[in-house]
Amino acid sequence: MIKLQNIDKLKQSESAFGFIGFASDEGVRRNKGRAGASLAPDEIRKHLAKLPYNLNRNMETIDYGNVICEDDQLEKAQEELGKKVYSLLLHHKTPIILGGGHETFYGHYLGVREYFSADKTIGIVNIDAHFDLRSDKLPSSGTMFRQILEQDVKAGYLCLGIQEFGNTRSLFQAAKDFGCQYVLEEDINLNNIQNTYEKIDEFIKKYDSIIMTLCTDSIISSAAPGVSAPSPLGLDPKIVKRLLKYIAAKKNTISFDISEVNPNVDENDKTVRLAAYLVAETMKSFSLKEKLAMI
C-alpha cells in the first residue's frame, strides 16, 4: 500500500520508502535531447500502482509528490529536490526518486551530501550508456557527474553499460582524468555477470555510502523505446534488473533514482511499464535487506 504525505510533516520511521518525483526535462533540452521526461514520474506511478505490493510488509511506501522544474529554473529545482532527499534520509526513509531527465541525479546527490558530514565518502553507481561528464558551461543532463567530481573530492564514480560509440574520446579521457571506473556494455552479459559483480564489490567497499542511478537509455531500444536517447545496442533489461537488485542489496546503498523515461515517445507504455517493474524489483532488494537487519 502506498500512502500520500506532505514532506513537511515527516515523522520518524524505523523503515519506509519515500517516493519523490522530479518533473523536469530542462536538462535534456539543454543537452539537445528529446523532451518529455518531465511526464515520467506520474506515468511510472500509474504502472507501479498496478503491481502487487510484494515487499517487506514492515516497510511502508509513502509518496511525497513531485518537485516541478518551472520554466528553465533547473538549478532551483535541483536544490529543492536535494532538500527533500535530505529530509527523507534524516527521517530514516529510503529515497526512491522518479525522474525526469538525468539531471535528476544532481539534486539526488545534493541531498545525500547534505545528510552526510564532509569527511564521509560517497560512491556513485550509474547504469548508463553515457559518462555524462560533459564540460558545458550550462548544467544539463550530460554534466552532473563532472559537476560532482569537480566539487567533491570524497565522491567516486562507477558507470556500468558504457557504449564506445556513445561517448567521444574526450569523454573517455575525462573519465580517466577523474579516476572513474566503468564497464563497457559489450562486457556485460548474463553469462559473465559475475565479473561485473566483482567490479561492483571492489568499488562499493571503498565508500561509506552508495547512491544508485539508472539512466533508461542504457537499455536496448527494443525493450525501452521511450527514452530521451534510444540505443539499438543497449543492455538487456534482465541484466539491468539483476544489476539493480545486486547493488540495492548492499548494506551501504541508501537511495535510488530512475531517469530519462520519456512517455511522449513511448510505444504502448512499454518503457513506462518496464521502469515500474525495475523500480519495484529494486525496492524489493532494499526491503529484503531491511528485513534481514531486523533479525
2-25 tens-digit pLDDT:
556 665 565 665 679 999 999 999
Quick one: three-class SS letters along 151-189? Answer: HCCCEEEEEEEECHHHCCHHHHHHHHHCCCEEEEHHHCC
Annotated binding residue 102: yes
- CA-wise closest residue to 215 among 48, 95, 81, 102: 102
In this predicted structure, which of 3-12, 30-39, 102-111 has the lowest mean pLDDT? 3-12
More confident residue, 17 or 292: 17
Examine the pLDDT at 273 and tell me if it is beyond 70.
yes
Annotated binding residue 236: no
End-to-end CA separation in angstroms for the chain: 23
Domains and CATH numbers, the chain: 2-294 (3.40.800.10)
C-beta of residue 103 within 8 angstroms of C-beta of residue 26: yes
Examine the pLDDT at 102 and tell me if it is beyond 80.
yes
Examine the pLDDT at 176 and tell me if it is beyond 80.
yes
Q: What is the pTM of this model?
A: 0.94
Annotated binding residue 72: no
C-beta of residue 242 within 8 angstroms of C-beta of residue 193: yes
pLDDT score recorded for residue 277:
99
Instruction: Read off the pLDDT band of 295 (50, 70, 90).
Output: very low
Examine the pLDDT at 110 and tell me if it is beyond 60.
yes
pLDDT score recorded for residue 185:
98
C-beta of residue 6 within 8 angstroms of C-beta of residue 30: no
222-265 tens-digit pLDDT:
999 999 999 999 999 999 999 999 999 999 999 999 999 999 99
191-204 tens-digit pLDDT:
999 999 999 999 99
Examine the pLDDT at 294 and tell me if it is beyond 50.
no
114-146 tens-digit pLDDT:
999 899 999 999 999 999 999 988 899 999 999
Give mean pLDDT, residues 208-228: 98
pLDDT score recorded for residue 12:
61
What whole-number percentage of the chain has pLDDT above 90? 85
Q: C-alpha distances in angstroms, 81 versus 11, 77, 144?
A: 19, 6, 14
Annotated binding residue 208: no
